[in-house]
Amino acid sequence: MASMDIVNVGKAYGSLTVIHGVSVEIPDGEFVVLVGPSGCGKSTLLRMVAGLEPITFGDIRIDGQVVNDLPPKDRDIAMVFQSYALYPHKTVAENMGFALKMRGEPKADIDDRVKKAAEILDLVPYLARYPRQLSGGQRQRVAMGRAIVRDPKVFLFDEPLSNLDAKLRVQMRAEIKELQRRLATTMIYVTHDQVEAMTMADRIVVLRDGRVEQIGSPLELYDKPANTFVAGFIGSPS
């Protein structure tokens, strides 16, 4: 568990600035949703938080410590992507335990943590199966399981549900929310889907062209949108 501060963070690719000084303070255990149209910089921001992309300016702090120069593996952050890229020739259990195995952890510890994660995610009956034998929702849960076994301080999700059909998407939203309640871990969740943002977030950060338009609870954004962009995007009448 950890607080996460994004402090005036910017990103330029050559002469093109795509993130223009974004600041978001996230207290321990909060579920924050970054929402905005395609190309507004959501993935870039998340990748900078994860350490997968160097930041051009600003600071990323975890529990007050600046982590700008830490490689991803030392940040204690787990990321779940939309293309969940499970290893096809490994079982569910092996997929979930792989990162721990690579870290050289004892097999008994790995088995224990995989089992606990499988219980949380209702994957116990599927541990010996291969990814091709799973439904889309189950695969997505395995991808989350890979993150959970690492017991990270912060979870990052980049549009994890966008490959799923509408019905499953609604179900998985609820599952991810329940997971967050249960683990009480800080989570940053990226989506371009307003409904997903409104139904899942403790607080929403609305991004547009690499800038924050507004930060607030779903109700605050709906009741008091800062401008017509937010109002239009969130769907409130003003």
Which residue ranges make up the site for ligand ADP (CB under 6 A)? 13, 18, 36, 38-44
CB atoms within 10 A of CB 208: 18
The region of 37-45, 61-69, 173-181, 209-217 touching Mg ion under the rule CB under 5 A is 37-45
Q: With binding defined as CB under 5 A, does residue 82 bind Mg ion? A: no
Instruction: Decide the pairing of beta strands 4-13 and 57-62.
Output: antiparallel
Residue 70 contact partner, candidates Mg ion, ligand ADP, none, CB within 5 to 8 A by sort of partner: none
Query: Measured between alpha carbons, how far is 148 from 113 in angstroms, rounded to an integer?
Result: 9
Q: Which does 186 bind (CB under 5 to 8 A by kind): Mg ion, ligand ADP, none?
A: none
For 159, what's the count of Cα atoms within 13 Å in the CB-facing half-sphere?
18
Alpha carbons 110 and 150: distance in angstroms, whole number:
10
Tell me how far apart the alpha carbons of residues 208 and 136 are, in angstroms, rounded to a whole number.
31
User: Between 42 and 150, whose beta carbon lies closer to ligand ADP?
Assistant: 42
Q: What gap in Å lies between CA 182 and CA 120, rounded to an integer?
A: 9
Residue number, 184 or 195, with CB nearest to Mg ion: 195
Judged by beta carbon, residue 40 or residue 86, the one nearer ligand ADP is 40
Q: From 25-33, 41-49, 92-100, 142-150, give the range in contact with Mg ion by CB under 5 A.
A: 41-49
**For ligand ADP, the closer CB: 58 or 137:** 58
Instruction: Identify residue 79 by its one-letter amino acid code.
Output: M
| Nearer residue to Mg ion within complex by CB, 46 or 121 | 46
Q: How far is the CB of 42 from Mg ion (least distance, A)?
A: 5
Coil, helix or strand for 170? helix
Phi, psi (degrees; rounded to nearest 5) at 195:
-65, -40
For residue 76, the 8-state DSSP code is T
* In the complex, minimum distance from the CB of residue 105 to ligand ADP, in angstroms, rounded to a whole number: 33
Interacting residue with Mg ion among 26, 35, 36, 43 (CB under 5 A) = 43
Considering beta carbons, is residue 43 or 214 the nearer one to Mg ion? 43
Find the DSSP H helices in the chain.
42-50, 92-102, 107-120, 136-148, 166-183, 194-200, 218-223, 228-234
How near is the Cβ of 122 to ligand ADP at its closest, in Å?
Answer: 30
* Partner in contact with 41, chosen from ligand ADP, Mg ion, none, beta carbon below 5 to 8 Å by kind: ligand ADP
The entry of ligand ADP, Mg ion, none near residue 44 (CB within 5 to 8 angstroms by kind) is ligand ADP
List contacts with Mg ion (CB under 5 A).
43
